[in-house]
A and B are shown apart, each in its own frame.
Chain A
């Protein structure tokens, strides 16, 4: 791949993206338009995250990619290989070894440090989109801090279902100003959005970048009498026994028997290495998962 620049994008494009990132960091939660490029993977498959990663990666970085919390899902493998090829950076599956982590739909269970960057792939950056389809209108609503529609939606959920019927991509308010879509992470992950690391969000098709600087206040929208509740399956991980991690549900046989396992594969493997074994788990072996 020597025909391409380091991390694929040309330096001018990277500078353009970095300017958008800096603006995003300066105005937490604000969606900065940027001239998204066509990437060699399809729109909707992480092109925003890939462009942000390309703009922040340095040759000495260690890169990790997760999709649904897992390092070995096909699209995570594909994106990791892309940067191995085009940037030659070191890659890892260990959350704590990574300096840049690109993610789709999850925040790692392990707490991130100040020297780590978390890059999110974002499909629809606009939290108000499904209440108001027009971009012209939603930008106006953000400018005027007009978020009543969102509260009405949450209220209507409660009156209809007795609960806020949003389970992922749960809207948050950033530093008391912008309502932001945290990307389709389960609401279980929302409390982790206030963290020591830098969080960057890239939406390639929609041409938007936004950011949460370290330790920024991020509040999940709720009501006093219906406070926000992060939820997960009411089980422990069947592999490592963790009770505090987000779980995937697997169908095991034709009778529909279920098992639960950590969605964060590195978290699960690290626990098993440390000797934790769940109800159906095996002791850790290097060659197994």
Chain B
């Protein structure tokens, strides 16, 4: 006599209770506060905001806490929350040339107006574990230099004045919105950039790296990388003009890439572009390289069949929320489809073995 397995509801409730306990960990260790996460895990918070497509450090910190530090899970929480928010309107384009830069480096010019500012970077730290951090202690204040006031011109604008950089064709006044319309191909550059800026950092990094190793190599120089605070302005219909509604930190990367020129045009530099929420420079540089690789058709280059040139491949697979969901769904029961495969393979083997023994008998 057999009684079928039941109890899915209770199992789910108990699993959630256990998860909550595990999330908290040893209760004799003080609980993490959201402020601690926001202040001391700032780069994790930035990644969650960037790939979650929602600029809110407090919510990102909450998501990281709830997700036990699993950043893709945290990004998922933010995305699911974001999609329920009403869309009030679109902002004006941010003016990154007016950014209050914390960091601004150019690999193409030794110096330029606005200067080179290293900012709080890991770049020249020696990657030696700092055991002092294992003990708690105060950090000495960093020296402060006078801030550079106002406008920091883009390095690209100097190349532009000489006509050395390919001018960007103007886009539509209101770009397509990846989150409101289904992605259809070929995608506009605006849609590609939206997709890349929220794409998985690891995936975009891997794609970018593949271009450097020769899969659609486009020889990128970092013309400029800048990180800092920009104002967000929005035109309010009742007022008839734009007002500042807040400030966000973004990372912007422009790469300058060589282009052979064509019969009608002399050689010109071309551009790859990356713009990501928060201090996220690995992602922004990667994004710029992949953006440039995806522009092969528009720039009259050959399709080399490289993964980074294939917009369908890149755009359909860079979203880690889509990818992780579909990947992990294979944990769900599949016994109905598996059963049909079982029956089929048994039948095919019966027939094959029948044929073999017939042949052996002959």
Task: Give the contacting residue for B340; candidates A4, A42, A186, A289; CB below 8 A.
Answer: A186
Contacts of B326 in A (CB 8 A): 43-44, 123, 205
A44 in contact with B333 (CB, 8 Å): no
Q: Nearest Cβ in chain B — how far from A113, in angstroms?
A: 23
Q: Nearest Cβ in chain A — how far from B15, in angstroms?
A: 9
**Residues 261 to 289 of chain A near chain B (Cβ within 8 Å):** 261, 263, 265, 280-282, 288-289
Residue of A nearest to B310 (CB): A134
Q: Nearest Cβ in chain B — how far from A132, in angstroms?
A: 11
Contacts of A280 in B (CB 8 A): 1-2
A87 within 8 A of B: no
A265 in contact with B340 (CB, 8 Å): no
Residues of B within 8 A of A (CB): 1-9, 11-12, 76, 79-80, 82-84, 86, 179-186, 312, 316, 321-322, 324-329, 332-337, 339-344, 347-348, 351-352
Contacts of A37 in B (CB 8 A): 83
Q: Measured between alpha carbons, how far is A133 from B184 in the docked complex, in Å?
A: 15
B347 in contact with A163 (CB, 8 Å): yes
A256 within 8 A of B: no
Task: Give the contacting residue for A43; candidates B9, B322, B332, B334; CB below 8 A.
Answer: B322
Q: Measured between alpha carbons, how far is A78 from B5 in the docked complex, in Å?
A: 17
Q: Measured between alpha carbons, how far is A26 from B343 in the docked complex, in Å?
A: 37
A165 in contact with B344 (CB, 8 Å): yes
A175 within 8 A of B: no
Q: Measured between alpha carbons, how far is A123 from B82 in the docked complex, in Å?
A: 24
A143 within 8 A of B: no
B336 in contact with A248 (CB, 8 Å): yes
Q: Nearest Cβ in chain A — how far from B154, in angstroms?
A: 34
Q: Nearest Cβ in chain A — how far from B325, in angstroms?
A: 3
Q: Nearest Cβ in chain A — how far from B38, in angstroms?
A: 23
A172 within 8 A of B: no
A44 in contact with B340 (CB, 8 Å): no
Tally of A-B Cβ pairs under 8 angstroms? 155
A135 in contact with B179 (CB, 8 Å): no
A242 within 8 A of B: no
Q: Measured between alpha carbons, how far is A156 from B301 in the docked complex, in Å?
A: 38
A105 within 8 A of B: yes
Q: Nearest Cβ in chain A — how far from B298, in angstroms?
A: 17
Residue of B nearest to A169 (CB): B337
Q: Nearest Cβ in chain B — how far from A189, in angstroms?
A: 9
B333 in contact with A38 (CB, 8 Å): no
Interface string of A206-244 (1 = CB under 8 A from B): 010000000000000000000000011100001100000
**Residues 118 to 166 of chain A near chain B (Cβ within 8 Å):** 123, 134-136, 161-163, 165
A167 in contact with B343 (CB, 8 Å): yes
Q: Nearest Cβ in chain B — how far from A42, in angstroms?
A: 3
A105 with B322, Cβ < 8 A, contacts A72-B8, A288-B3 known: no
Q: Measured between alpha carbons, how far is A249 from B332 in the docked complex, in Å?
A: 17
A67 in contact with B333 (CB, 8 Å): yes
Q: Measured between alpha carbons, how far is A284 from B337 in the docked complex, in Å?
A: 28
Contacts of A81 in B (CB 8 A): 9
Task: Give the contacting residue for B329; candidates A4, A45, A135; CB below 8 A.
Answer: A45
Known: A69-B336, A168-B340. 7 other contacts (CB 8 A): A4-B84, A38-B321, A45-B332, A123-B326, A136-B186, A231-B340, A232-B343
B182 in contact with A33 (CB, 8 Å): yes
B183 in contact with A207 (CB, 8 Å): yes
A76 within 8 A of B: yes
Q: Nearest Cβ in chain B — how far from A165, in angstroms?
A: 6
A-B pairs, top 10 by smallest CB distance, nearest first, are A43-B325, A44-B329, A42-B325, A167-B340, A44-B326, A289-B4, A33-B182, A186-B340, A168-B337, A44-B325
Q: Measured between alpha carbons, how far is A75 from B182 in the docked complex, in Å?
A: 26
Residue of A nearest to B80 (CB): A40
Residue of B nearest to A166 (CB): B344
A135 with B325, Cβ < 8 A, contacts A248-B335, A280-B2 known: no
A233 in contact with B339 (CB, 8 Å): yes
Of the candidates A33, A44, A169, the one having the most CB atoms from chain B within 10 angstroms of its own CB is A44
Q: Nearest Cβ in chain A — how far from B308, in angstroms?
A: 16
Q: Measured between alpha carbons, how far is A4 from B183 in the docked complex, in Å?
A: 26
Of the candidates B184, B312, B336, the one having the most CB atoms from chain A within 10 angstroms of its own CB is B336
A186 with B339, Cβ < 8 A, contacts A35-B182, A134-B312 known: yes
Contacts of A45 in B (CB 8 A): 325, 329, 332
Q: Measured between alpha carbons, how far is A78 from B15 in the docked complex, in Å?
A: 12
